[in-house]
Amino acid sequence: MTDDEKVLDESGRFHATDAPIDLSGYAWEDWLALAFFWLLAIDVFYQFFTRYVLSDSAGWTEEIARYLLIVVTFVGASMAVRRNTHIHVEFIYRYLPPLLGRALSTFVDLIRIGFFGYVTWLGLDLVPRMNNLKMTVIDLPMSYVYGMVTLGLALCCLRSVQVALRHWRQGWSVLERPAESEVA
């Protein structure tokens, strides 16, 4: 055991050093999702404060909280796509020959890109149509909410392409080798 690993010093006092903080594993959409999450937390706290402390609930907070939760969900989904941590079933890959497992894994990557590309296209088609529809309590167009959802879906599509390229370059995916997690 080296001196850096000792928990107690010579006088018997507790001594520990923190590991350096590494934020390099986070991408910009992680910080965007975190910002929307904090807006949601502030909104819910304000709702709680006005309802239970002031006994005069702010009516707009519930609607805004709903929309912020939607945005956090869809922008946050791109984090899971980038890290390849969405729920998947790798059970069948144990019983497939490696070549067939690789082909099926590539097919899954292509289907994921196709799905996110298609729903992004649908979102882009829907956003202008929602410009005339206003939010219930606040006089803002619903296209803002649908625009953020479409942004989240576009990020998922972009990250799906990046994940598929990573799988293609390394020659395997986590579906084929679940023990080798590829969280990036």
pLDDT in tens, 27-73: 899 999 999 999 999 999 999 999 999 988 888 899 999 999 999 99
Is the pLDDT score of 9 beyond 80? no
pLDDT of residue 143: 94
Q: Are 151 and 75 in contact (CB under 8 A)?
A: yes
Please state whether 84 falls in left (phi above 0), alpha (psi between -120 and 50) or beta: left
Mean pLDDT of the chain: 88
Angle at 133 between CA 132 and CA 134, to 5 degrees: 110
pLDDT digit string (tens) for 67-86?
999 999 999 999 999 988 88
What pTM was estimated for this model as a whole?
Answer: 0.81
pLDDT digit string (tens) for 89-119?
777 888 888 899 899 999 999 999 999 999 9
Q: How many CB atoms lie within 10 A of CB 133?
A: 11
